[in-house]
Amino acid sequence: MLSCFFFLGTLLGFGQNEIELGTPLDIPLALSGNFAELRGGHFHAGLDIKTKGRQGLKVKAVEAGSIRRIRVSTSGYGKTLYIEHNNGLTSVYAHLQKFAPKIEAFIKAIQYEKERFEVQQFLRKDELTVTKGEIIGYSGNTGGSFGPHLHFEVRDTDLQTPLNPLRMGLNVQDTQRPQFRQLYLFDDQERLFQDVPLQKINDSVYQTNLLFTQGKIGLGLSMFDRQDLSYNRNGIYRVEVLLNGQKVYAYQFDEIDFKDGEYIPLFIDYALSKTKKRRLYKLFTPAYSMLSFLNTIPSNGFLLIENGKSYQVKVIVTDFHGNHAYLESYIDGQNTKREFSSLTPTNPTHTITPEKDYLVQFEDKGVYFSKNSFFSTQNIRCENLQESLKLETPLVPVRKAFEISFNPPKGDSLNLAQMAIVRKGEKGKNIFFATRKKAAHWIAKTKEGGIYQLQRDSLSPSIKPLNFKEGQWLSRYRYLKIHIEDTDSGIRSYRCTINGEWVRFEYEPKLKLLTYDFRDKTFRTSKHELQLEVTDGVGNRSVYETTLYRKYGLDK
């Protein structure tokens, strides 16, 4: 799908907004993450707003509307609210510490009904409404967050496509220009053949030494943007590439599609990212990509450099508030030797084409590549190493996970139940995979090469009470806290009851912590028989039981 938002953004102008929304936080907005910046497997769908390094700040609805979705998860967005507004927009608030009382009571009833901490509930329109500026929750660090902040999104309600929230009137102070780090040159096969140091002339202009090359080339640029109240290196907003004054490439991040994430490995240089942890933006349209924001007019971004001719290349990068940075480079068309790194496995044994399924099968193990596992034809090497399977793949983007399979080993039922497929990791720490066990073979999905084998996890999870002990009176306590951990296959599930009734223990995997709030439930006895059952990834189970006491009536 091609986007027309580049032209829309040009018409709107920088800093002009279609709809004015309120602010989700009553503090100056400092960003630790920008809209559409590159993340591991997705373009960032919103803004990450700093919360001064702490949790518990009041989060407010940016517009009146109906809560249409509430999600509680130990991964991803953590505790999240989705609010539909009457202006065609939906706002999203993620990584919350907790919800406002009326929302908390609503989702708690669902959790107790389903006897699960992790739940997702879709609501009818007007079932649970909020007003503009109403407190809907408190900022936190739940889910896949690496520090306290508020992840805030604005989506088109009908299409559910993310829109740049800065277009909605959020006040982010920004007088900082984008910054460049390194220029890269690619050939017409998208192979990186030269990295070019940059010279910073002043606050806005960067230059290179005279370059010598010939033929079709593409540019790649390592760059970032900052705002006044944050030192974080955030993503960019708008890019233009000019060759001898003629625009040959441009895009602008006003809207993205969640499907764009599939093509991130094409938009960057995958090998450079994997080997040297450097991330760049390709300033040309990658082959096989269907990125929604790329504009194919007037060209695909490749520069045609002819022998004996001279060229001026200019890259203009602009942030949402109109701050510019410029890169100027001059190229003389000359035939020069290009050196490329070898990224293919040694002695490749199989050729995998995107159009076909492909199975490499040994007597007791194998690997299956479905159609479109790779974006283009690739050579791989697969070896049978007695009890292991060694898979070498080129350092190129993988589109779809492939399946590693082993025939079930012989052994008693307990040993078999405790086994899973693992990939050998560094320093002897193997990575356990969710293993689907069929009668004929066991299967795990992966996008990585490596050495795969079967391994047993015979250790049950550990359970350790943190703020109480057997027989203790807890009348002055509000919370129970329990540490749970599994060093091999990881925690898969847990269940806790008091006096035989399920109770809601909140789980924070980053802290390996279970927390119970005594105000959740009222018991008609002072004696509390607590039982906690924890199961790891292969089914090993640990049970912790204790008796506690708490004065009756405290939690009414």
Higher pLDDT among residues 340 and 470, named by residue: 470
Please tell me whether residues 244 and 205 are part of one structural domain: yes
Please tell me whether residues 527 and 448 are part of one structural domain: no
Tens of pLDDT along 265-297?
Answer: 999 999 999 888 888 999 999 999 999 988 666
Check pLDDT > 50 for residue 222.
yes
Check pLDDT > 80 for residue 213.
yes
Confidence of residue 114 (pLDDT cuts 50, 70, 90): very high
Q: Which residues are within 8 A (CB) of 158 and not within 5 positions of it... i.e. 6 or more apart? A: 88
Q: How far is CA 303 from CA 158, 221, 252, in A?
A: 39, 15, 20
For the segment 243-271, the average pLDDT, to the nearest whole number, is 94
| Eight-state DSSP code of residue 537 | T
Closest CA to 236 of 302, 181, 189: 181
The answer as to whether 341 is a domain residue is no
The answer as to whether 412 is a domain residue is yes
Please tell me whether residues 137 and 257 are part of one structural domain: no
Closest CA to 73 of 16, 9, 124, 116: 116
3-state secondary structure of 271: helix
Q: Is 304 within 8 Å of 182 (Cβ atoms)?
A: no
Please tell me whether residues 32 and 125 are part of one structural domain: yes
Please tell me whether residues 427 and 409 are part of one structural domain: yes
Could you report how far apart the first and last alpha carbons of the chain are, in Å? Answer: 56
The answer as to whether 506 is a domain residue is yes
Please tell me whether residues 326 and 431 are part of one structural domain: no
Residue 360's domain comprises 350-456
Q: Looking at 111, 138, 168, which one is the last position of a domain?
A: 168
- Exposure b/e, 5-32, CB count within 10 A at least 16 = b: bbeebeeeebeeeeeebbbbbeeebbbb
| Structure confidence at residue 14 (pLDDT) | 41
- Paired with 328 in beta bridges are 207, 314
Check pLDDT > 60 for residue 211.
yes
The alpha-helical segments, DSSP class H, found in 86-189 are 101-114
For 464, phi then psi, to 5°, come to -140, 115
The answer as to whether 344 is a domain residue is no
Peptide bond into 298 cis (omega under 30): yes
Higher pLDDT among residues 116 and 414, named by residue: 116
Confidence of residue 427 (pLDDT cuts 50, 70, 90): confident
Distance CA 316, CA 326 (A): 5
Please tell me whether residues 18 and 102 are part of one structural domain: yes
Please tell me whether residues 432 and 469 are part of one structural domain: no
What percent of the chain stands above pLDDT 70? 95
pTM over 0.85: yes
Please tell me whether residues 390 and 309 are part of one structural domain: no
The answer as to whether 6 is a domain residue is no
The answer as to whether 312 is a domain residue is yes
Distance CA 293, CA 260 (A): 9
pLDDT, the chain, mean? 92
Of 216-225, 344-353, 421-430, which gets the smallest average pLDDT?
Answer: 344-353
Domain tally, the chain: 4
Q: Looking at 168, 188, 213, which one is the last position of a domain?
A: 168
Domain at 370, CATH number: 2.60.220.30
